[in-house]
Amino acid sequence: MSCKIKATMLSLLILAIPFSGCSKTKSVSVDKTPTQELTVYIPFGGSDVQMAINNYETTYHIKVTTVDLSGENYLTYSNRVSAELLAGNGPDVIFPSTLYTMNPYKAMSNNLFLDLKPYFDQDTEWKSADYFQPILNAGFYKGKQYIVPMNFSLPVYVSSTPGLKAIGFDWKTVTDMPSFLRQISAAVPKAQQISGFSQMMNYKYFYGDFLMQSGLNLLDYTQMKACADPKAIRSFFESYKSYFKTDYREDRVINTDNMGYKHVLANEYYFCSFFDMQSLFGTASVLKTNGGYTLSVPRDSSGKIHAITGNTVAVRANSKNKWNAYLFVKLLLSEDFQTAQFLYNPVNKKALAASIKKQQDTYTPSMHMDGGYICTKLSDEETQTIINQLSSADNCSIYDSKVMDMTYESMLPYFQDTKSYDDCYKEMQSKLSLYLDE
Amino acid sequence: MKTMNLTQREARDGLLYAAVPLLGFAVFFFVPFLISFVRSFQTGISSEFAGLDNYISVFQSNSFRLAAGNTFRFMLVGVPAIILFSLAVALALDAGLRSSSLFRTVFLMPYVIPVASSVMVFQILFEQSGIVNTLLPPAERVNFLHSGSAFAILVLLYIWKNFGYNMILFASGLSQIPHEYYEAAKVDGANGFRIFWHITLPLLTPTFFFVFIISIVNSFKVYREAYALSGAYPDSSIYMLQHFMNNNFVNLNYQRLSVASNYVFLIIFLLVFLLYRFQKRTGDNQL
């Protein structure tokens, strides 16, 4: 080896020594450095964010620099914030639920966001008992609160009681998601004999919701393991296949109405699941007038109920206005702000109860429903049942569309009978393992 | 006033001519490379120093090892295969095959058509409902693009797409060899193999070297084809380094992306460096 090469290699080695195994670990602290700035980009459809900014400026007397992207394409916020995060800058407050191309768990593991746990812990005004802890836990990664869910959706299925009776479906016999899927598949032949029938669910593509509600832990980010419970996974996919074969067709309708009562009463479909409580109340109130309604929430095999986060918020890890950003997050979680929301269920318990009461008073016989249908006001007892159901989540996770797409693409040949379960499962496991490990 | 001599004037003019490309190289390659290098020693988007943690983490990652293994396996199989095949075709055309110019044009076609079109051809052939499967009995049908066969298909696609260009390079190299050498060898009674071994091969060395480098670079670029064939998460046999880097880019993990690209840079740099040394040595020996 020539002297020149030896010298180069030696220099490289000497240069590398200071880098080896001496990373600096910062102690957990709350940065309360006072600044007079905060930058927030308003995402697509983020009129409520603008409302929060106005409240924030009035309450804290801090000027918020805003970039209004609410009127742009829904991807504009995602693309712009992602690019700026890559460059190490961007807004102080980030809405991860609108970063469509990014996996939230990857973002958390990449330290893109600030750990807000010490901020909540050291804030004497913060009352964690006012919030649904299982929902907030969805934003935890390895003991750190990187993402804060502002609201959530929980699959309360609304059906017409006479309608379910006609197709021979009984919720009492449903034990978990696979059993629900098998039973709705078994009810399809009977439903097909009733005129007007189109499909069982109010949406065409229910796969992701079913999978999330089943509580399957396809990716365990703590243990870094993909497909940890093959038996439960098989049970879910086998039962989903029976649903797919009997009730799934690409050309089935998608419910574009906010409320499904018209379709349910016309026997077009039998189960409605809504993100918002307006639709839930509206449909239940009309069905109450027309023979009664049934509300139920599917559980997993251990009896747990799984919710999905709605809008989420986070603070950029290297923000210079960390404390101001934390105050903004706290404002988004406040009872007043959360009560004013109408989409999804608020993570604030009092806000959820207040919103539900508001719906109870809205859907009365004086409400003019589309199609001339009459509402019957839900009683206090019925309203309390809904509050209890929406508060019953034992677990919550952040929806990851990539994982959904990956599993669906891998398992589709199995649903279509063109490939064996084992082959599809192997492919899915391989893809998920890669995804997790990257 | 100090006047410049001819050498100085030439140097100044040369520098002026090279200034624009040099500036472009600095702005679009060198500066981003430096930023990426610095980022590879940091944590997240903060400027916290991470030491060699990112390098160790990436090196220990199964996905990176799989991607690196596949990329080098692809290089080891694909590069010799494409060189041998394109050389064989170039020799056949050089030997006076009829309609050789037509063949040259036809063989170059896959190189100039867009990747998406090339991939579509292979999808039509090898997908679950593709032509190859329709020829097989139903029980033996395989989704070739999502099985272990995907690797062989990708090698085939790489050869099919790129061999035309290599063949043109070899043909150009062959045309540079003076015919007198061949005639003298024939007069001396050398057979075809000895002529190839002692005349064609040594005189094609510079072309070989260039084709080799181009083929290696193209083998790293085969990600486009793999992505178009099977997406961001293909069969594990065709999960390449570029998949790893691209997926980390999408997930905003700049650190892992930077580390992986630095590893690739180092490997390509060493490879090209060794090849240059090898070429220099063989060139010196020939002289």
Distance from CA of A333 to the nearest CA of B (A): 26
CB B223 within 8 A of CB B115: no
CB B157 within 8 A of CB B118: yes
Show residues of chain A in contact with B148, CB under 8 Å. Answer: none
Helix orientation angle between B62-94 and B100-112, rounded to the nearest 10 degrees: 160
ipTM (interface pTM): 0.77
Q: Is the pLDDT of residue A19 over 60?
A: no
Residue A306's nearest CA partner among A315, A314, A297 is A297
Judged by a CB distance cut-off of 8 A, whether residue B46 touches chain A is: yes
Show residues of chain B in contact with A22, CB under 8 Å. Answer: 51
Q: What is the CA radius of gyration of chain A?
A: 25
In this prediction the pTM is 0.81
β partners of residue A295: A158
% of chain B with per-residue pLDDT over 70: 97
Distance from CA of B129 to the nearest CA of A (A): 10
Judged by a CB distance cut-off of 8 A, whether residue B53 touches chain A is: yes
What pLDDT is recorded for position A128?
A: 92
Beta strands at A157-160 and A293-296: parallel, antiparallel or unpaired: antiparallel
What are the tokens at A157? 């299925």
Show residues of chain B in contact with A103, CB under 8 Å. Answer: 251
What pLDDT is recorded for position A20?
A: 47
Show residues of chain A in contact with B247, CB under 8 Å. Answer: 435, 438
Interface test with A, best of B46, B61, B140, B144 (most A CBs within 10 A): B46
Segment A104-148, tens digit of pLDDT: 888 888 888 999 999 999 999 999 999 999 999 999 998 999 999
- Are A107 and B128 a contacting pair at CB < 8 A? no
Q: Is the pLDDT of residue A72 over 90?
A: no
Show residues of chain B in contact with A413, CB under 8 Å. Answer: 128, 143
Q: Is the pLDDT of residue A22 over 50?
A: no
Distance CA A296, CA A157 (A): 5
Segment B220-268, tens digit of pLDDT: 888 888 888 888 888 889 999 999 999 998 888 888 889 999 988 888 8
- Are B62 and A106 a contacting pair at CB < 8 A? no
pLDDT band at A24 (very low <50, low <70, confident <90, very high): very low
Average pLDDT score over residue span B84-107: 84
Show residues of chain B in contact with A102, CB under 8 Å. Answer: 250-252
Size of interface A-B (CB pairs under 8 A): 88
Show residues of chain A in contact with B145, CB under 8 Å. Answer: none
Judged by a CB distance cut-off of 8 A, whether residue B57 touches chain A is: no
Task: Pick the residue from chain A with its C-alpha nearest to B48.
Answer: A24
Please give the mean pLDDT across all residues of chain B: 87
Return the minimum-mean-pLDDT range out of A162-166, A313-317, B5-9, B185-189.
Answer: B5-9
Q: What DSSP string describes B171-186?
A: HHHHHTS-HHHHHHHH
Q: How far is CA B271 from the centre of its chain?
A: 12
% of chain B with per-residue pLDDT over 90: 30
| Through-space distance between the first and last CA atoms of chain B, rounded to whole angstroms | 48
Distance from CA of B162 to the nearest CA of A (A): 29
Distance CA A156, CA A146 (A): 28
Sorted by sequence, the CB contacts under 8 Å of residue A338 that are 6+ apart come out as A150, A151, A332, A346, A347, A348, A351, A352, A355
Q: Is the pLDDT of residue A25 over 50?
A: no
Query: What's the DSSP call for residue B84?
Result: H
Task: Pick the residue from chain A with its C-alpha nearest to B54.
Answer: A23
Query: What's the DSSP call for residue B199?
Result: I
3-state SS, one letter per residue, for chain A: CCHHHHHHHHHHHHHHHHHCCCCCCCCCCCCCCCCCEEEEEECCCCHHHHHHHHHHHHHHCCEEEEEECCCCCHHHHHHHHHHHHHCCCCCCEECHHHCCCCCHHHHHHCCCECCCHHHHHHCCCCCHHHECHHHHHHHEECCEECCEECEEECCCEEEEHHHHHHCCCCHHHCCCHHHHHHHHHHHHHHHHCCCCCCCCECCCCCHHHHHHHCCCCCEECCCCEECCCHHHHHHHHHHHHHHHHHHCCCCCCCCCCCCCHHHHHCCCCCEEECCCHHHHHHHHHHHHHCCCEEEECCCCCCCCCEEEECCEEEEECCCCCHHHHHHHHHHHCCHHHHHCCCCCEECEHHHHHHHHHHHHHHCCCCCCCHHHCCCCCCCHHHHHHHHHHHCCCCEEECCCHHHHHHHHHHHHHHHCCCCCHHHHHHHHHHHHHHHHHC
Query: What's the DSSP call for residue B2?
Result: P
Judged by a CB distance cut-off of 8 A, whether residue B66 touches chain A is: yes
Segment B37-82, tens digit of pLDDT: 988 998 877 778 888 889 999 999 999 999 999 999 999 999 999 9
Average pLDDT score over residue span A48-56: 91
